[in-house]
Amino acid sequence: MIILSLPGSPGIERNLAEQLGAELVTVESKVFPDGETYIRLPRDVSGSPVVIVQSLYPDQDRRLVELLLAVDTCKDMGASRIVAVVPYMAYARQDRRFRDGEPISIKLVLKMLGYVGATHLLTVDMHKSESLNYFPGKFLELTVLPTICAEVLPELKEPLVLAPDLGALKRARIVAEKFKLQYDYLEKFRDRVTGEVTMKPKQFDVGGRDVIIVDDIISTGGTIAKATKILKSMGARKVYVAVAHALMVGNAYERIIESGVDLVLTANTIRREVVQPKVKVVDISTEISSGVRKLLQG
Ligand code: R5P
């Protein structure tokens, strides 16, 4: 087996190669002066199963083109199986036409991956799991939130696992059931006269309790900051946040820390250039290796 590492690999390639007993090959890449993407496989992969590791962030479009070029080249060279390991899948949130005339972007991304030759796909905490059905080959989605939450749960006082909205309730349930905890979601209310939106936990009082908010992604930090301010104003003791993908766009980090978040826990699904003191990154490379094994056996 050959592990092909692309520029968007979040630094898990060495562990994957070791754990899977595979050869690690770094794909050459550059950007032409006019902005076009170039890649080159420095090794023949004919007859071998290849695992291509590439997260689609930062720079979603560049990372996507690199991935498509790499898969297509592996197919041309005669790789026996092509597994795309994409810990962070970009475009996952555009999974329906919110307004007429919009594309279902995740459909195109997953169909393209299959079309160019990816036979298998492994990804982590998709925005909606159902989207993966657009991929024509075999796929596996890892849910890493229980692993992430396990890092702090023993320290928490009367923990409540909370989804920031109804859409994330399934994630809260998965974590809560695993650790036998209570879970809930933030329900939105709109004042019919002023239009003002307020939120509060549907079922439980958070006063004096530690809350762990679980979600798939932090992008601008708006969702988490808003939820945290509300929870703290209701008397929550500490607010922890566990997300699979902490993109932290722009001033998202400052925004959520100012809102009162005590610690953000996340997985290494994307490459992180800066160390942020209140962000703890949990390594999930072992889960990914096991996932690749499972995918190829199944
Ligand atoms: C929304 O449905 C997602 O699950 C996230 O809650 C959202 O995309 C996070 O974005 P932001 O950090 O910009 O609020």
Q: Is the CB of 128 under 6 A from ligand 1?
A: no
Rounded to the nearest whole angstrom, what is the distance from the C-alpha of residue 226 to the centroid of ligand 1? 11
Q: Which of 219, 220, 245, 253 to mutate to test the pocket of ligand 1 (most atoms within 8 A of CB)?
A: 219
Q: What is the average pLDDT score of the chain?
A: 97
The SS3 call for residue 214 is strand
- pLDDT tens for 185-194 read 999 888 888 9
Confidence of residue 197 (pLDDT cuts 50, 70, 90): confident
What the block records as the tokens of 78 is 């005669």
Nearest Cα to 67, choosing from 114, 19, 130? 114
Percent of the chain whose predicted confidence (pLDDT) is above 90: 95
- pLDDT tens for 84-131 read 999 999 999 999 999 999 999 999 999 999 999 999 999 999 999 999
- pLDDT tens for 122-169 read 999 999 999 999 999 999 999 999 999 999 999 999 999 999 999 999
pLDDT of residue 196: 84
What the block records as the tokens of 88 is 């962070």
Confidence of residue 298 (pLDDT cuts 50, 70, 90): confident
Find residue 187's DSSP bridge partners: 200
> How many whole angstroms separate alpha carbon 83 and alpha carbon 240?
34
